[in-house]
Structure 1
Amino acid sequence: MRLLLVLIGVFCLPLAAIAAEWTPYANARFGFAVEIPPGFALVREADNGDGQSYANGEARLAVWGHTLAEGDFKEDVAERRATYAREGWYLSYDRQTAGWASLSGTRGTSILYHRAIALCEGAAASFVLEYPDTMKAEISPLVGRLVKSLRPAQGCTNAQGAAPAAQ
């Protein structure tokens, strides 16, 4: 019985610790929030307040908001899709609704995941996660929670849910 309790502690406590290490990030300028995964350290904050970038070894995570050029989320995502094609990315996953888009693919040994959501007042928020395929087992499980955590501020219903008020 004692061995069973030790094994439960060894395997369950690290999972609880990992879950607790997600760090909330709220962007006041564009009104969105996202949770930053454990192991990702802040590298740079944009001078204009539109987002932040993080790193975990060779993995890079960029989170930002921006004003839509024509106020058209669909067109903005189409432009990003075209940019990825010009940069040599092969998009193997490409889904879009009126309120969100997810693009994922590869270029050489690199993996890319881009999630974008429409915000209120002609804006959008995105995160881009880029990492080497050698980190796939470590990074891929984080994508689902990242996707679910990217939300507009309360009162903006253009995307899949409302985030806590930006701080």
Structure 2
Amino acid sequence: MQRFLVLLLLLLPAAAFAQAWEPYANARFGFSVDIPPGFTLSREADNGDGRTYANGAATLAVWAHYLTSGDFEEEVADRRVTYQQEGWDLSYDRQAAGWASLSGTRGDTILYHRVVRLCENAVASFVLEYPQAMKAEVSPFVGKLVKSLHPAEGCTSAQGAAPAAAQ
């Protein structure tokens, strides 16, 4: 009996991670991303540009928008400056043609922002924010979120521009 309980406790985290991810496709901007298990829809944008999900104190915002001034690189640079002005200590900052990832902390909150280039001068992003206390539960989702955020098929100007992050 004791062995059974130990085995059950060892398998619980793996079982929780193996739960179904919910696909989200945004028809307005032509991108998709997989939503981790445990995150429930808390708000849908009225204009159809994205959604916000919650899992306890963790939030996941997924959206897209058109670049109104500047190019992709300027968009990422502006976001970087805004985070720094808001007091985020960015400890991870990686950018390549067509994608960027920024991560850091502010107090006991962790932030991960992934942005990818889309067609028609648009970009899609997800921002995952969660308290340090939820790190063991939430941080394993980041890799799959990064891999799943991509432009729709047929978006030839962005196709291949946002490769999955190295694990």
- TM value normalised by structure 1: 0.86
Structure 1 gap segments, 5+ residues each: 162-167
What is the aligned-residue RMSD (CA, Å)? 2.2
Tell me what 1:21 maps to: 20
Equivalent position SS for 1:92:
strand
In 2, the alpha carbon distance for the partners of 1:107 and 1:31 equals: 32
Q: Which amino acid aligns with 1:81?
A: R
Contact persistence 1:52–1:62 (CA under 8 A): yes
Correspondence for 2:153:
154
Cα separation, partners in 2 of 1:46 and 1:9, compared to 1, 3 Å: same
Alignment of 1:13-162 (within 5 A): 15=14, 18-70=17-69, 72-157=71-156, 158=158, 159-160=161-162
Between the two proteins, the alignment pairs up a number of residues equal to 159
Q: TM-score, normalised by structure 2?
A: 0.86
1:9 is displaced (CA, Å) by 7.9
Give, in whole Å, the separation in 2 of the partners of 1:117 and 1:29: 16
Deviant stretches of 4+, over 6 Å: 3-10
1:97–1:20 CA distance, 2 compared to 1 (3 A): same
- Unpaired runs of 5+ in structure 2? none
